[in-house]
Chain A
Amino acid sequence: MNSLRGGWTVAVALLAIAIALTVPRAIASSATDPITVKWKNVALVHVTLTPNYAAGFGQIPATIGTQPAPTHGPDASLGAGSVDFGNVLAGKNYVYRYATHLAVTSNSSTGLNVYGEGAADFYNTADSSTVPISTTIYWLNSSASGDANTGFSPGTPMQLTSGTVVGGGQFSAPSINYTTYPSPISSTALANADFYYDYQLKVPATATSGLYYVWIVYTVVSR
């Protein structure tokens, strides 16, 4: 009897050992299941913006025929400053030649889209009134030199952004956060490109006197 009990004891012990050795292997096999990791490479895009980018920059009143010499306000200088129309009259139109140059470099294999929008409406610092930017400021394609745009050339209205404007003021540039991009103002299949823009200013006849300003924000992304 004792020998029979001893035999059962050994059998149970062996079974326990066998189970103990088996279970960890089952856990180890489930711990080695493959996990899929995915990521998306975003193209690197670098933009350099140069205002008043060529000699002959400045505003010209809308004129048919021989164009007057360009002039500009005190905050504009060659290759720097703001696009400063200087003194303008209510109810008159102007073109600003060689206003903005965007030099874009990237590693995009699909090309680039350029978005250009106003961060706000045209704001009068004298009385805090505003004039809609879409009926006041227009943009036109220009060139590195030999700009022939006039105040009568067809221009596209500059739109007020629907993105989230962050920061900014009369003397500090804002940024815009987008959840959805608007329609691009320019597009290219190239990774590196230059974009040149003139502006037109159409001052409403009802605009009050004062110093007006607005920030135009350009965003360039891979297509």
Chain B
Amino acid sequence: MKSLRYAVLLLGLSIAIPVVVDASIQQQRAQITVTITVNVTPAPIAYNGSAMETSRNGIKASLVLNAREALDQTFHAENLSFVGGSMIAQATNQKAVKVEAEVSPNPNGTLLTSDQTGVVINQQAGTTVSYPCIYHVSVSTAITNWSLDHGLYSNFIDMTDSTAFAGSAMKNKSYIATPQPAFTPFVVYSNGQNWALLQANSKSKTYCVDLELVLPASTSQGSYSSQATYTLLY
């Protein structure tokens, strides 16, 4: 009797444990990136005028032109010749390299996709601008219980001089339909943060991704990029 009891207990455990495990452990099935490039233009130089003189009225300065002023330089006619409009690069300072690739179909290529491989934002330093539905992320599957994680792989880096600004300056709200969530900053993986859960859902879904960039005024002019990364697990 005791041995039968143990056998039933063992059988029950062998059934229950895999079910519990299957429900809690998800594996990465697909991962895509969308490169976000930000072209930063400098903030305008602010004018800080001196305090206004209020003790007197009228024009504070005047300018008188001297009609008899002699030019300190005479001008000579020069023999000028004009070449064609194109500046022809010297043969020795221009070189080319061919880039090639043999593209094949991806059997898992439709599982997780975006309609953009990269997006470009032009923004002035010191401004906050929103970019509605700048790209979509789509999950196409019959699985009824999956999770979609997201984040930026790195901070935004300018390749020409390696200057950077924080990835958390870029916020997103990703939604299927209204009501829309609030903007939240991306996590940045290379800063030691884990990917954040965008949503757990089922079957095929398409997310609209709005971006909002809070660009500090101190950001220097340049072209910065990072990769928004989406990971599907089930």
Which residues of A line the B interface, CB within 8 A?
35-38, 44-49, 51, 62, 64, 73, 75, 82-93, 99-100, 102, 119, 124, 134-141, 151-157, 164, 168, 173-179, 183-187, 199, 201-205, 207-221
CA A89 to CA B108, docked complex, whole Å: 10
Residue of A91, A136, A221 touching B109 (CB-CB under 8 A): A91
Would you call B97 and A175 a contact (CB within 8 A)?
no
Alpha-carbon distance A84/B103, docked complex (angstroms): 12
The minimal Cβ–Cβ distance linking B215 to chain A, given in whole angstroms, is 16
Q: Is B217 an interface residue (CB 8 A)?
A: no
Residues on the A chain within 8 Å of B79, using CB: 35, 37
Task: A139-B159, A175-B94, A211-B100 given; name 19 further pairs at CB < 8 Å.
Answer: A90-B103, A92-B109, A99-B97, A100-B97, A124-B103, A141-B162, A152-B154, A154-B153, A155-B159, A157-B118, A176-B89, A177-B87, A179-B85, A207-B103, A209-B103, A209-B105, A210-B102, A216-B97, A216-B99
Let me know if B118 and A38 touch, CB within 8 A.
Answer: no
Ordered nearest first, which 8 A-B pairs have the shortest CB separation? A49-B95, A91-B109, A85-B101, A173-B96, A89-B106, A82-B98, A45-B93, A213-B100
Interface string of B200-234 (1 = CB under 8 A from A): 00000000000000000000000111110100000
Are A177 and B88 touching (Cβ within 8 A)?
A: yes
- Residue in contact with B225 in the complex, picked from A85, A155, A178, A186, CB distance below 8 Å: A155
B94 and A135 contact, CB distance less than 8 A: no
- Cβ-defined partner of B98 (8 Å) among A47, A175, A215, A221: A215
Is the Cβ of B97 less than 8 Å from the Cβ of A154?
no
Pick the most buried of B76, B97, B106, B109: most chain A CB atoms within 10 A of its CB: B97
Known interface pairs A154-B156, A155-B225, A177-B88; A85-B100 also in contact (CB < 8 Å): yes
Q: A86-B102, A179-B87 are in contact. Are A202 and B33 (CB under 8 A)?
A: yes
Query: What CA separation (Å) do A135 and B87 show in the bound complex?
Result: 29
A182 to B: closest C-beta gap in Å: 12
Residues on A with C-beta less than 8 A from B116 are 135
Residues of chain B touching chain A, judged by Cβ–Cβ distance below 8 Å, are: 31-33, 35, 37, 76, 78-79, 85-90, 92-106, 109-110, 113-114, 116-118, 120, 153-154, 156-157, 159-160, 162, 189, 223-227, 229
Contact between chains at A212 and B100 (CB < 8 Å)? yes
B100 touches A84 (CB 8 A): yes
Complex contacts, A208 vs chain B, CB 8 Å:
103
Contact yes or no, B101 A84, CB < 8 A: yes
